[in-house]
């Protein structure tokens, strides 16, 4: 079953044609990785799925994007509802200057949840899902800024999970982390796909190989090749894919 499906998506930053007709579908409860040289449009494409591109002046999008079968650019869609459904984790950990607890509770609070007990349970569950609970359970009231970079990133993952999205977008989530935190986060991604559809951008091909079921290779705003991760890395069909994965450019 497909969770995210796009049909002939074009995106323009003003005059610049950044995405050139991308048609692809991402399967439910699978990890899909986007790879490609920097500037090829991976982040841009990812930001289409929760409409974060709406925040950038002068962006124009054509084509169709369906998430769980719903056209997310039709006029009846409220972007804040969409973003509850499609969570996002960013390259640089960006916890709020609030306590660890309040960081995770934030998404619930802004979406109108008032029930204290419910919030407490959900915060605990999310922190456990993000493999952070044991490290922070005694200091939930402490500032999130006291955590290490790797912990902060897992906190941001917990924060996204707390509102139970069905799709989780991750834009180079480990590029600012040390190797140990990276390994932890990758392990976490592995566990999360049981309940979430995950789309991850990475510039690290080994990482794509380790965490993803499917991999898409982008080049200059185009989707060049999209296949099962094993297939794409062992038997690429396109010359450009082959050049990239053998390190001949990028």
Partner 1 sequence: MSFGNTPSAHRKKRLTQNIAFFIFRLLSFSVVAILVVILGFILVRGISVISWEFLSEAPREGMTEGGIFPAIVGTLCLVVGSMLFAFPIGILSGIYINEYAKDSWFKRFVKLMTNNLAGIPSIVFGLFGMALFVHQFGFGDSILAGSLTLGLLALPVVIRTTEEALKAIDNSFRIGSLALGATKWQTTRRVVLPMAFPNIITGLILSIGRVSGETAPILFTVAAYFLPKLPSSVFDQVMALPYHLYVISTSGTNIEASRAMAYGTAFVLIVIVLLANLLANWLRRYFGKKVKMN
Ligand X SMILES: Nc1ncnc2c1ncn2[C@@H]1O[C@H](COP(=O)(O)OP(=O)(O)O)[C@@H](O)[C@H]1O
The residues binding partner 1 (CB under 8 A) are 50, 52, 55, 57, 80-81, 83-84, 87-88, 90, 92, 94-99, 102, 106-107, 109-111, 143, 145, 156, 159-160, 163
Residue 38 is a binding residue for ligand X (CB under 6 A): yes
Q: Of partner 1, ligand X, Mg ion, none, which one sits near residue 40, judging by CB under 5 to 8 A according to partner kind?
A: ligand X
Stretch near Mg ion under the rule CB under 5 A, chosen from 41-49, 71-79, 130-138, 205-213: 41-49
Q: Which residue has the tokens 């990133």?
A: 153
Q: By rule CB under 6 A, what string of x and - marks binding of each residue 49-88 to ligand X?
A: -------x--------------------------------
Stretch near Mg ion under the rule CB under 5 A, chosen from 35-43, 62-70, 76-84, 235-243: 35-43
Integer CA distances (angstroms), 156 to 146, 151, 248, in order = 14, 9, 35
Q: Of ligand X, partner 1, Mg ion, none, which one sits near residue 39, judging by CB under 5 to 8 A according to partner kind?
A: ligand X
Torsion-angle region of 216 (φ positive above 0: left; ψ -120 to 50: alpha; else: beta): beta
Residue 127 contacts residue 158 (beta carbons within 8 Å): yes
Q: Are strands 214-219 and 16-27 parallel, antiparallel or unpaired?
A: unpaired
Which residue of 18, 82, 119, 163 would you call a contact of ligand X, by CB under 6 A? 18
Indicate the residue among 163 and 211 with the shorter CB distance to partner 1: 163
Which residue of 6, 30, 32, 43 would you call a contact of Mg ion, by CB under 5 A? 43
Indicate the residue among 66 and 220 with the shorter CB distance to ligand X: 220
Residue 207 is a binding residue for Mg ion (CB under 5 A): no
Q: How far is the CB of 105 from partner 1 (least distance, A)?
A: 11
Stretch near ligand X under the rule CB under 6 A, chosen from 38-46, 66-74, 83-91, 228-236: 38-46
Residues at the contact surface with Mg ion, assessed by CB under 5 A: 43
Residues at the contact surface with ligand X, assessed by CB under 6 A: 13, 16, 18, 36, 38-44, 56
């Amino acid at each position: 079953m497909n969770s995210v499906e796009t049909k002939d998506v074009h995106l323009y930053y003003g005059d610049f044609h950044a995405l050139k007709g991308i048609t692809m579908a991402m399967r439910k409860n699978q990890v899909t990785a986007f790879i490609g040289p920097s500037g090829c449009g991976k982040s841009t494409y990812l930001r289409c799925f929760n409409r974060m591109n709406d925040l950038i002046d002068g962006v124009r999008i054509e084509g169709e994007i369906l998430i769980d079968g719903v056209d997310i650019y039709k006029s009846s869609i409220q972007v804040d509802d969409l973003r509850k459904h499609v969570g996002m984790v960013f390259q640089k950990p960006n916890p709020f200057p609030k306590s660890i607890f309040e960081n995770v509770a934030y998404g619930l609070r802004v979406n109108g949840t008032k029930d204290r007990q419910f919030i407490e349970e959900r915060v605990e569950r999310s922190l456990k899902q993000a493999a952070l609970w044991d490290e922070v359970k005694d200091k939930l009231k402490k500032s999130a800024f006291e955590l290490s970079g790797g912990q902060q990133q897992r906190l941001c993952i917990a924060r996204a999970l707390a509102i139970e999205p069905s799709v989780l977008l991750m834009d180079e989530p480990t590029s600012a982390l040390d190797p140990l935190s990276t390994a932890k986060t990758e392990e976490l991604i592995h566990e999360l796909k049981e309940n979430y559809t995950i789309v991850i951008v990475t510039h690290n091909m080994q990482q794509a190989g380790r965490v993803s079921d499917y991999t898409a290779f982008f080049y200059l705003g185009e989707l060049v090749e999209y296949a099962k991760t094993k297939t794409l890395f062992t038997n690429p069909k396109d010359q450009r894919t082959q050049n990239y994965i053998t390190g001949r450019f990028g």
